[in-house]
Amino acid sequence: MIHDGEAALRFPVMHSGARPCEGFLYVTARGIDYDPVFDPRPKEAFSATRDQISDVTISEDSGSCSFSIADPVGDQSFRPLYEQGNFRRPSLGFTEMDKKTDLEFVSYLVRVYRDFSAAEQELVKGKTAKP
Ligand SMILES: [Zn+2]
């Protein structure tokens, strides 16, 4: 898809925080953007270029991924959002299978971030293979 005029992959995510919000994380060759479209609070939105992002980590315990982003954005953490407005909390029936799925989701997200051009080429191949 195209986001702000450039090729992007879009991930539905829950943004961790004191009051979690929900939206789309856009990964592009330029960086990452977060848009809390399902819970619009403009303060939570951000746009970060790769030179502002210093660390990307995956937490196997929580099935989340985190980005260390330069001030004023700061550290940001995300979990998969599978269905609009219906994210699952770990305290409410979080099974091993769910956690595996969460980890696959965030691992793919991070892989796309780390090698966007390879991910983009996979997408192009997928597109041309469709009838
Ligand atoms: Zn948020």
In the chain, where the domains are located: 2-129
> d(Cα 51, Cα 3) in Å, to the nearest integer?
19
95 pLDDT tier (thresholds 50, 70, 90) = low
Q: Kindly state the DSSP code that residue 42 receives in the 8-state scheme.
A: G
What separation in Å is there between the alpha carbon of 114 and the centre of ligand 1?
A: 23
Distance 128 CA to ligand 1 centre (A): 36
Closest CA to 65 of 74, 52, 55, 54: 55
Q: Are 45 and 35 a contacting pair, CB within 8 Å? A: yes
The candidate with the shortest Cα–Cα distance to 50, out of 102, 5, 100, 117, is 117
Tell how far the Cα of 131 is from the centroid of ligand 1, in angstroms: 39
What pTM, to 2 d.p., does this model score?
Answer: 0.82
Residue 90 predicted with pLDDT over 90: no
**Tens digits of per-residue pLDDT, 15-57?**
987 778 888 999 999 999 999 988 877 788 999 999 999 999 9
CATH of domain 2-129: 2.30.29.30
Upper half-sphere CA count for residue 118 (Cβ side, 13 Å): 8
